[in-house]
Structure 1
Amino acid sequence: MVLISFFVSLFFGTGISLYYTLPLCNATLGREENSPFLFIHCFCLQILAAELGSILLPYTALSDFYLFLHFNYSLLEYFRISFLFFLFSILFLLPYVFCFKKEKNQTLSPGTLERLQNSYFTLKKEKILGKGNCFYPFCFFGILFFLSCIKWIPIPLCFALTLIYTIFFRRRVIARLDYDLLSLIVLVFLIRGNLLHLRGFSEFLLPFIQGREASRALILSEIFTRLPVSVFLADLSTKGRQLIIASILSAIHPLALNYSGIITHSMLKNKEHTKVFVLHYIFLHLQMLLLFVFLAFFTGNL
Structure 2
Amino acid sequence: MVDLQKIVKQINGIRNIYMWSGKGGVGKTTAAINLATWLAASGRKVAVVDTDSHPNTSSLKDMSKVREDRRYTLSDVIQREKPFLDAMYQVRNGLYVVPSETNIEVAKTHIIINEAQDVLLDRFYALMAQLAPPPEDPPFWQEKTYLAPHHLPPLAELSDLEMQAPPAYLEYIIWDFAAEPGALGKAILRLPKGEIWSPVLLEPYPLLAFAQMKQQTTQMFQYHPVERRPVLKGVFPFMLTHKTEKVTEEFAKLYLAHQDIFMHPIHNDDKVAATQDYYPAQSIYEVDQTSRAGREFFELAMRLDGYQGSFGKKTHCPHCEAIYEWARQQSGGEGA
TM-score normalised by the chain length of structure 2: 0.22
- Give the structure with the larger helix fraction: 1
Larger relative contact order, structure 1 or 2 (CA cutoff 8 Å, min sep 6): 2
The structure richer in strand per residue is 2
